[in-house]
Amino acid sequence: MKITALLENKTNREDMLTEHGLSLYIETEKHKILFDMGQSNLFAKNAAALGIDLSSVDIAVLSHGHYDHGGGLETFLEINKTAPVYLNRHALEPHYHGAEKYIGLDVSLANNKRLIFTDGTTAIEDGLTLYSCHEKVRKHDLGSFGLQVLENGEFLPEDFRHEQYLLIEIPPAESGSDKDQNRTVLFSGCSHKGILDIADWFRPDVLIGGFHFSKLPLDDTLKSFAKYLDTFPTEYYTCHCTGQKQFEFMKQCMHGLHYLSCGQSIELFQ
């Protein structure tokens, strides 16, 4: 499996364009998957610069209904004429930061026939599953981060019911593992429901995505979060909303924490 960050907040390459957002290109033995699309068309420009043909993507996933992950949806639908796009049924609800800044998706795309609206657990096929985990108990709930949803004319704190996670299971024959069980890779856009709980719910071999820690102080609480994540048998590739300073701080007490920046590729289970 190969994962390339088409878009992320930072890059070490001069040929990549960056913005606050996330887009990942995932290649498995069977599929070419696009996970999130940034906030504009920059993910597509970067894909072209990297020699990645987005028209050949056969599955697309939106992790949640915020502009910095789904703002490039229209661009993708123009470039790619066939791939279904999986998003939670609540993704197109009106999402706000505070009561003034709209941070949701373009609702004019709601009737596009290629959009497949999910709820709960959705099996795309064997080894590819989407989970909302909305009914699970959150032991480490960090709140709504000042984010709100407009419902029946009233602003309510976000419960992130529109967020979903992609779990890819790779059989031993494909992963090169000498173990009998599948290897698992979990993709989480922003982990609004809490990265500590998400890591506990799934306990994947690899977890890729943002932790939503960028506003947290570099203190003993963040250190305890890092140590908790380090108790799981998971390799973490983080990015985007984790925060660069928070990443550097956490890395001091975590054995398997890496940063995935724009234009970077990683190959798993080689």
Encode pLDDT of 138-168 as tens digits: 999 999 999 999 999 999 999 999 999 999 9
Number of domains into which the chain is organized: 1
Please check whether residue 133 is in contact with residue 119, taking contact to mean a CB–CB distance below 8 angstroms: no
The confidence score (pLDDT) of residue 181 equals 86
CATH number of the domain within which 231 lies: 3.60.15.10
Expressed as residue numbers, the domain containing 164 is 2-267
The confidence score (pLDDT) of residue 177 equals 65
Which 3 state secondary structure label does DSSP give 242?
Answer: helix
Which 3 state secondary structure label does DSSP give 139?
Answer: coil
The confidence score (pLDDT) of residue 172 equals 85
- Closest Cα partner for 192 from 130, 145, 131? 145
17, exposed or middle or buried, with CB in 10 Å at 0-12, 13-18, 19+? middle
Q: Which residues contact 160 (CB under 8 A, 6 or more apart)?
A: 64, 134, 144, 192, 193
- Using left for φ > 0, alpha for ψ between -120 and 50, and beta otherwise, residue 260 falls in beta
Positive or negative, the CA dihedral 180, 26, 84, 161 is: positive
Encode pLDDT of 28-61 as tens digits: 999 999 999 999 999 999 999 999 999 999 999 9
Encode pLDDT of 70-101 as tens digits: 999 999 999 999 999 999 999 999 999 999 99
Size (the chain), residues = 270
> What count of other Cβ atoms lies within 10 Å of the Cβ of residue 175?
21
